[in-house]
A and B are shown apart, each in its own frame.
Chain A
Amino acid sequence: MYLEEVKQLLAEILHIHDEVSAYTAETPLLGYIPELDSMAVVSLITAIEEKYGIVVEDDEISADAFETVGNLAAFIERKVG
């Protein structure tokens, strides 16, 4: 449900519009997308909070949530409820 929205957020924050169109739920994120450095992760979390009006707690920011595009979409779905 949130897959396309995650792709849109990645495209906008990281400025990788061309690459993102080929992303699927299985596309790995952290460690695989060079643009996704530490500052970009922080920007991405901020963008998610602001777009959906949710608060991401420190202990919710896990390796699992940022493992793949699909995992991040699932994380947002859980948070938005």
Chain B
Amino acid sequence: MNDGIANKYSQPDPKFIPSTAGDIFTLTFRSNNSHTQLLFIPPFAEEANKSRHILSALGRELAKHGIETTLIDLFGCGDSQGDLDQANLEIWHQDISNVINHILKQLQCDNLILGGLRLGANIAASFLNNRVPISKQQKLLLWQPIPDMAAYMKQFIRLKLAESITIQISKAGYPKNTSEIIASIQNGEPLEISGYPLSKQLFNDICSLNLSDFKLATAADISTFEINSSGTTSIPYQKLQQKLNESHPELNFATCAGHQFWACQEIARCDSLIEITANHLLQNTQEVKSE
């Protein structure tokens, strides 16, 4: 292989793709002789920053095995155009749709997997819940999807209180509690949390992304991975698994022992997650080929 070709497959390919509300930044990890394309949505806000190195590692690992990975920054997120408080779920779905159309024009194969981490996983699932099929076989790869959106948004809002929390809990509680902040969002008051502006519509859109409410096609192939230090399925995920199993008895659910890198105070690695994901996707694509 000459240097030019080697470089093409070792360096990620950044691109801005025109979308409905603005240009969307994508980063693709090219693979020689790719047979599968993974479209992956990063998590929300600060969790995205703490995850980029892992998602890049995933892209590089999968590229070795013929799976191309494209990471998407949705409108108002990461390096894409727009402000977060101008975003909503409909715009994000259009972004995913536009990126898929762009990829399908270039792709030789019809094996497309939609994946995401944390909120990205819930957004990916909601896309399949609302849109036309993305390929012949509907495939979802969900890394640590959020089981309870209301609780998740409350946790996000708690960041607003973080600066004063240690002072306040040694005195008389919060200066303003999460319920009051949620009420002010619902009144349409602008709110910024840790540098991320949030609108009423986006807040409510995100709260609506409960996986257990989705009516995913029963034919959809769903692979869910939970990551925690013990490697045993936690109570919230046991419940989620039970709920998803009602409509998808063949749901693949695995718990991976590793750092919850999106939440760690310091940058953390999670090699085991990348390894079991790569093994699972490869096994899965080989099964498709042999059918």
Contact = CB atoms under 8 A, between A and B. Distances in A.
Interface of A: 8, 12-15, 30-31, 35, 37-43, 45-47, 49-53, 55, 58-59, 61-63, 66
B183 to A, nearest CB: 13
Contacts of A51: 228, 234-235
A15 B164 CA distance: 23
A62 B169 CA distance: 5
A59 B131 CA distance: 42
A79 to B, nearest CB: 12
Contacts of A58: 173-174, 177-179
B291 interface: no
Contacts of B236: 50, 53
Interface of B: 147, 151, 154-155, 158-159, 161-166, 169-171, 173-174, 177-179, 228-230, 234-236, 239, 259-260, 263-266, 268
A61 B165 contact: yes
Given A12-B264, A53-B236, A42 B159 contact: yes
Contact of A52 (B161, B179, B235): B235
Contact of A39 (B155, B260, B265, B268): B265
A49 B155 contact: yes
Contact of B263 (A31, A47, A53, A63): A47
